[in-house]
C-alpha cells in the first residue's frame, strides 16, 4: 500500500509540474515552433502537426520516467 501512495505522490508532482508549464507557456513560445513542426494555413482552415515538439517531449518524458524508475528500486 505504501508503494501506491508513493506512485500517487509522484504522479501528482508530475501533473503539477505540467500544469505550471502550461500556465507559464508564454515563456516557452518556441515549444510549438521547432524544426519538424508542420503548419498548413488556408483561408478558413489551419492544420498543425507538432512532430518536432512531440519528439522532444517524448524524449524528455522517457528520460525522466526511466530515472524515476531506477531511483524507485
Q: Where are the domains of the chain?
A: 2-72
**pLDDT at position 59:** 93
- Of 26, 33, 61, 59, which is closest to residue 48 (Cα–Cα)? 33
pTM of structure: 0.58
Q: In the numeric block, which cell numbers belong to residue 3?
A: 508503494
Asked if 15 and 23 touch (Cβ cutoff 8 Å), the reply is no
pLDDT tens per residue across span 20-56: 877 777 676 666 678 888 889 999 998 988 898 889 8
Q: Three-class SS of residue 48? A: strand
Considering Cα of 12, then 57, then 38, then 34, what sign does the dihedral take? positive
Taking residues 53-70, report their average pLDDT: 89
- Residues 24 and 29: their CA atoms lie apart, in Å, by 10
Where does the pLDDT of residue 71 fall: very low under 50, low under 70, confident under 90, or very high at 90 and above? confident
**pLDDT at position 63:** 93
Amino acid at each position: 500500500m505504501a508503494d501506491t501512495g508513493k506512485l500517487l505522490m509522484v504522479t501528482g508532482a508530475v501533473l503539477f509540474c505540467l500544469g505550471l508549464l502550461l500556465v507559464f507557456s508564454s515563456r516557452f513560445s518556441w515549444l510549438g515552433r521547432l524544426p519538424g513542426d508542420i503548419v498548413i494555413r488556408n483561408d478558413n482552415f489551419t492544420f498543425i502537426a507538432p512532430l518536432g515538439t512531440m519528439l522532444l517531449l517524448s524524449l524528455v518524458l522517457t528520460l525522466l520516467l526511466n530515472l524515476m524508475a531506477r531511483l524507485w528500486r
